[in-house]
Structure 1
Amino acid sequence: AEDVSDRAESLFRFPSLAAYEQYRTLFGTHPDFIAADRIRDESGCVLRYERTFMRPLLPQGH
Structure 2
Amino acid sequence: MGAKRRWLGYLGLALVLPWVVWCLLGLLGVVPSLVTVFGIPGLRIPASVAIAGLLIAALGFYHD
Q: Same fold (TM over 0.5)?
A: no
Q: Which has the higher contact order (CA 8 A, sep 6+)?
A: 2
More helix by share: 2
- For the pair shown, the structure with the greater C-alpha radius of gyration is 1
TM-score in terms of structure 2 length: 0.30
